[in-house]
Amino acid sequence: MRETEKPHYLQFTIKLKRLLSPTTPFKNLTFLLSHLFIFLFFFSSLLFFMDPSKEIAHDFPSFLRVYKDGRIERLTGTQVVPPGLDPRTGVTSKDVVIVPESGVSARLYIPKLSGETPKKIPLLVYFHGGGFMIESPFSPLYHTYLNSLVAEANVVAVSVDYRLCPEHPITTVNDDSWATLLWVASHGPSGPGGPEPWITDHADFDRVMIAGDSAGANISHHMAMRGGPDGLGHGVHIKGAIVVNPYFWGSDPIGSEGVDPLKKESVDGLWLFVCPSNLGCDDPLINPVAPGAPSLSGLGCTRVLICVAEKDVLKDRGQLYHDALRESGWRGEVEFFETKGKDHVFHLFNPDCEEAGVMLKRLASFMNDF
């Protein structure tokens, strides 16, 4: 092979050897040093890009990156704010450990209590969103929202910190959420007596509700299904479920999903990464109306509120869930609420807009109408 046909870095190495040869006069030291610097820069850059810790295996913009060495970099939802008194709403919060062995925990909220506050108030268990991969109850996004929701609805709330994908399988997300519900139920009228006085002293176990947005709405559905007719034990049943912009999906596009193939491909890829099962996007974990999915008639609550946003790509799945629930033979009452002109979880990113305020009041009304 002629020298000019060799790779550039080999050509440069040959030239550098000639320059360093004892027979080569050092007539231009500056030339030698400058080319040596270029070679070292090129070589170090090559090593950098060959480093597995820098090579990206999976990239989900706005969510996370997974590198070839297994390292996971979350791009948002990692910031943490402490619990305590929120001066804006008067709501107080604190953190508790639910399952010491796994580290599953929760942030508890209690509204400002006064002489006019009923002794027992509704109890809400909330599941945050984030595609099962990001966010937590401790992030500014969810801490701010729960403060507002608890103040508006006048409820005790338990915001669940379940373990995330991809470090843990999707089934762990649901198991952690279920473990938290059982922990809540242990405080119930026939339970062994739970350790948390905020729940024991103030929660009305005849008005236990679950709620969540996006992936958290998906979790809420599966918790209501798992509760079924037997409830949570200790005389505790889930009375209502709120699913906000539910993260449901399917292999075949419906409604507006076929308008933007790239967006559908993106949602497909996100789910298949989280849950690489043989059923794909028709796994009942993401598609509650897929063939083989458990009948919605077994939903273990008496009322459901489904909230969708007009511009959300997931909107049609929320509508389909509503229609399927009504036709399933389930004996409960389902309500449907659509916010015009808004996109996915707009109420979290723009909580001060008029539409977010309207939706907040709708959720509060639902929780207090039992």
Alpha helices in 98-208 (DSSP H): 140-153, 170-185, 197-202
Instruction: Considering the candidates 128, 187, 322, 344, report the single residue annotated as catalytic.
Output: 344
161 noted as active-site residue: no
Report how far residue 363's alpha carbon sits from residue 305's, in angstroms, rounded to the nearest whole number. 8
| Phi and psi, residue 75, nearest 5° | -95, -10
- Which SS3 state, helix, strand or coil, does residue 73 take? strand
User: Can 206 be counted among the known catalytic residues?
Assistant: no
CB 242 within 8 A of CB 32: no
Residue 250 in tokens: 């399917």
225 CB neighbour count, 10 Å cutoff: 20
Give helix 29-50 / helix 8-20 axis angle, nearest 10°: 140
Name, in order, each residue with C-beta under 8 angstroms of 26's C-beta and a sequence gap of 6 or more.
32
SS3 41: helix
The phi, psi pair for 354, rounded to 5°, reads: -60, -40
Q: Is 344 a catalytic residue?
A: yes
CB atoms within 10 A of CB 317: 25
- CA–CA separation, 143 vs 122, rounded Å? 19
Distance (Å, rounded) from C-alpha 280 to C-alpha 271? 8
Question: Among residues 105, 136, 159, 214, which one is catalytic?
Answer: 214
Catalytic-role residue among 93, 312, 316, 347: 312
Q: Which residues are known catalytic residues?
A: 214, 312, 344
